[in-house]
Chains A and B, each alone.
Chain A
Amino acid sequence: MDKEETLLDHMEREGMSRRTFLKYCASLASLMALPPSAAAAMAEALGKAKRPSVIWLPFQECTGCTESITRSHTPSVEGMIFDMISLDYQETLMAAAGHQAEEALHNAMKDNFGKYVLIVDGSVATGLDGAYSCIAGRSNLDLLKEAAKGAAAIVALGSCAAFGGIPKANPNPTGAVAVSDIIKDKPIVNISGCPPIPVVITGVLAHYLTFGTLPELDGLGRPKAFYGETIHDRCYRRPFYDQGKFAKTFDDEGARKGWCLFELGCKGPVTYNACATTKWNDSTSFPIESGHGCIGCSEPDFWDAGGFYKALSTPANPLKYVGAAAAIGVAAGAAVSVANRASKNAAKAAHEKTQLTDLEK
């Protein structure tokens, strides 16, 4: 694909109608809570957009994020977006390997310095100077620092890049951290999720292409448009929660009737993501619809948040210190008690039988 070709040209060449494209822009705009007029602007901007260079660095990751994007629902406009960008380096997808691939990376960084978008998936190992995860003999840490220098913006894709994810789970042997823990001087957008929702990725890219800026972010650096509400807020099982109807096991009457999965450990109430609205697999469903609670994968440290099957109100291990606390408490009480007894005995010993003269000063 020619670098000078616009998305619209490319689409026409692929036989996609302009109408389909407009529909896509409209739905993207509404999904991102932009005004309706933005859809046209978006269509126009996207249509004219030149293919920016995108470099995708994989660190400590499982390729789930790549799977999520590429396997989502092809052929589709999401796929088109990837066609329209110049994905100059993506280990999994690129045909090149070895020195050829490295060369492509360095060329892209040099040619588009200051302009390329850096996508990172996977966390960054910092232990042993980053030696836990290396590509072509260089640590992820090094690679990230180098690639970040020339990036216009960084997309931390997936919970590992965004928050450290599973590699960072206790006891975090590799010293895994999030991209934002290393890079402080570039705009970073966190697209968390394990994996993240495809339309969220394309939405963010579309926003960047249209407006040249990153969308509005929440406190955790996530686009508010997608992470503004909890799964619980938008869950179709919410009425059961309000009525106090809970499935108690995965195969009881309540589970069959589709009651709330709160007691089975659903993390929906504390998980900010768009699953309940955008759904997965071409808007087919999301985990709760298939009878499993949300595991909170788009939240930091979800892996260590007390167990997937423990209700949110249920703490992980609250009685941890009870034995020791009880022993110390009784010991402290007993010590005071011994001191009190001594004190009282001393008072009794000091007692002088009261005479009438003792009633007056």
Chain B
Amino acid sequence: MNEMELLTWARGPGLNIAIGLFILGMLWRLVEIYTLGRKKDLAPARNAPGASGWHTVVRRSMPPHGMLKRSPISYIGGYIFHIGLFIVVFLFAPHIKLVDSLLGLSWPGLPSQVIDAVTVVTLATMLLVLFDRINNPVKRYLSTVGDYAAWMLTFLPLLTGFLAVKHLLLPYTTMLALHILSVELLLVALPFTKLIHVFTLFASRWYNGDISGKRGVPV
């Protein structure tokens, strides 16, 4: 298989399969998780302003009082790499074009120099959070193979995408193929790794906010 064939496979059958498996895995996992059900809370609710599941879905994106100081790398690093990933994934012109062709939705992108800069910062931040995972006693204690695999699955698309755009290391065609393949790997693995938090965190926050919200505590 030559590089163009690899790219053609990655863009064609490879992507079909990856998106198929992603949808399959995602629906399977979400149904598996959320059909477990929960008991209705029979205690009469106390209402308080700002205390609800929906409030927590939004509010939990901000560090609770005192936490930023206790774990600056987690918060600042976390913000940078999540926002960076968002920008690179959703505001890079070729990616928008992809969504446009899939769903017919389009929005303005950012100049590629800006994307380049954001990518470099995001890559660097991801290395920092990896270092923190190894260095911080709690993170190291909690980390499993899955945590490092999830990091790698996220890091590779970003790295290969950057190398492809910058024509580094390998010919563009090969690198673009590797980029797409790495994204496909990410898609297939996402439902079965901690990366599923991309979807479940909203429900988790809602449950948390709802449990405390019924007691009148905005969390």
Give the chain B neighbours of A314 by CB distance below 8 A.
97-98, 100-101
Closest residue of B by beta carbon distance from A320: B16
Contact with B along A251-277 (1 / 0, CB 8 A): 000000000001100000110100000
Residues of A within 8 A of B19 (CB): 318-319, 321-322, 325
Q: Which residues of B contact A305 (CB under 8 A)?
A: 4, 7-8, 11
In Å, the complex CA distance between A262 and B167 comes to 16
Asked if residues B2 and A220 are in contact (CB atoms below 8 Å), the reply is: yes
**Which of A35-43, A111-119, A286-294, A332-340 binds B?**
A332-340
Name the prevailing secondary structure of the B interface residues. Answer: helix
- Considering the chains assembled together, what is the distance between the CA atoms of A49 and B124 in angstroms? 59
Q: Chain A nearest CB: distance from B48 CB in Å?
A: 33
Interface 0/1 of B36-55, CB less than 8 Å to A: 10000000000000000000
Residue on A nearest B8 in the bound complex, by CB? A305
- A301 contact from B4, B93, B112, Cβ within 8 A: B4
* B26-A329 in contact (CB<8A): yes
A34 at the A/B interface (Cβ < 8 Å)?
no
Please determine whether A321 and B20 come into contact, CB atoms closer than 8 angstroms.
yes
C-alpha spacing A330/B30, complex, angstroms:
9
Instruction: Tell me whether A246 and B25 are in contact (CB under 8 A).
Output: no
Q: Which residues of B contact A313 (CB under 8 A)?
A: 94-95, 97-98
CB contacts (< 8 Å) of A270 on chain B: these are: 4, 7, 172-173, 176
**Chain B interface extent, by class:** 35 or more
Whether A333 contacts B30 in the complex (CB less than 8 A), given A244-B109, A301-B4, comes out as yes
Query: For residue B114, which residue of chain A has the nearest CB?
Result: A244
Cβ-defined contact, B93 with A263, below 8 A = yes
The yes or no answer to A300 lying at the interface (CB within 8 A) is yes
Give the A-B pair count, Cβ closer than 8 A: 147
Q: Is the CB of B32 within 8 A of A316?
A: no
A152 CB-CB contact with B under 8 Å: no
B17-35 contacts to A, CB under 8 A, are: 17, 19-32, 35
Residue of B with least CB distance to A263: B97
Any chain B CB within 8 A of the CB of A183? no
Chain A, residue nearest B110 (CB):
A244
- B15 sits at the interface (CB 8 A): yes
A interface size (C-beta, 8 A): 50
Does B12 sit within 8 A of A, measured CB to CB? yes
Is B137 among interface residues, defined by CB-CB distance under 8 A? no
Select from chain B the residue with minimum beta-carbon distance to A330.
B27
Given A299-B4, A329-B27, A330-B27, does the pair A318, B15 have CB atoms closer than 8 Å? yes
Q: Tell whether, in the assembled complex, residue B101 and residue A329 are in contact, meaning their CB atoms are under 8 Å apart.
A: no
- In the complex, whether A241 has a CB less than 8 A from a CB of chain B is yes
Interface string of B101-114 (1 = CB under 8 A from A): 11000000111110
Interface residues of A in 169-189 (CB under 8 A from B): none
Q: Give A133 to B152 CA distance when docked, in angstroms.
A: 51
How far is the CB of A106 from the nearest CB of chain B, in Å? 36
Contact partner of B12 (CB less than 8 A), chosen from A272, A315, A322, A328, is: A315
Q: In the bound complex, how far is the Cα of B165 from the Cα of A233, in angstroms?
A: 11
Distance (whole angstroms) from the CB of B102 to the closest CB of chain A: 6
On B, residues with C-beta under 8 Å from A are 2-5, 7-8, 11-12, 15-17, 19-32, 35-36, 93-95, 97-98, 100-102, 109-113, 167, 171-173, 176
Q: List, sorted by A's number, 30 A–B pairs whose CB atoms are closer than 8 Å.
A: A220-B4, A230-B171, A230-B172, A232-B172, A241-B112, A242-B111, A242-B112, A244-B93, A244-B111, A244-B112, A262-B93, A263-B97, A270-B4, A270-B176, A306-B8, A306-B11, A306-B12, A310-B101, A312-B11, A312-B94, A313-B94, A314-B101, A315-B101, A316-B12, A325-B19, A329-B23, A333-B27, A334-B35, A337-B31, A337-B32
